[in-house]
């Protein structure tokens, strides 16, 4: 009886071991990719009344539905900004714009790409290049 039990356990171990090794090898690369930080978020800030670029406003991106800041940038002379090094796992982002230093509005970015005063009225955005965000001059 003891030999049969040992053989069954040995057979079980022999059949489970390849499955365990396969599972470990599949999870390894997927987990490693979650730590990649090659994502970006870029776009342009414009004044909707004039169509002119807004220079010097700060754009911040946050992990969706949190206050965890992932990155920020100031818009340049052409109104462009680019935030690099975003985690690949953060596919959707909450976006906040602060234009107060250059006499423009501050708030979250809404679905229509206009600034909205409160987070509940905002939308999330995917990583990558965005169409222009519109900031009202104060």
Burial of 83 per CB tally in 10 Å (0-12, 13-18, 19+): buried
How does DSSP assign 84-130, residue by residue?
A: EEE-TT--EEEEEEE-GGGTB-EEEE-TTSBEESSGGG--EEESEE-
The pTM for the full model equals 0.74
- Considering all CA atoms of the chain, what is the largest pairwise distance in Å, rounded to the nearest integer? 89
Is the pLDDT reported for residue 136 higher than 60? yes
> How does pLDDT run across 16-75, given as a tens digit for each residue?
444 344 333 334 444 445 567 789 999 999 999 999 999 999 999 999 999 999 999 999
Token reading at 54:
């807004």
Give the helix/strand (H/E) hosting 44. strand 39-46
pLDDT band at 101 (very low <50, low <70, confident <90, very high): very high
Burial of 99 per CB tally in 10 Å (0-12, 13-18, 19+): buried
Q: How many helices (H) and strands (E) does the chain have?
A: 1, 10
């Amino acid at each position: 009886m003891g030999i049969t039990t040992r053989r069954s356990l040995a057979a079980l171990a022999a059949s489970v071991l390849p499955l365990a090794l396969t599972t470990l090898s599949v999870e390894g690369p997927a987990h490693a990719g979650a730590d990649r930080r090659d994502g970006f978020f870029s776009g342009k800030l414009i004044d909707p009344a004039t169509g002119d670029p807004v220079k010097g406003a700060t754009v911040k991106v946050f992990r969706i539905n949190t206050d965890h800041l992932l990155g920020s940038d100031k818009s340049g002379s052409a109104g462009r900004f680019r935030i690099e090094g975003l985690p690949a796992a953060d596919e959707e982002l909450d976006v906040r714009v602060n234009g107060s230093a250059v006499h423009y509005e501050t708030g979250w970015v809404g679905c229509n790409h206009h600034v909205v005063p409160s987070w509940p009225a905002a939308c999330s955005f995917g990583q990558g290049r965005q169409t222009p965000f519109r900031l009202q001059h104060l």
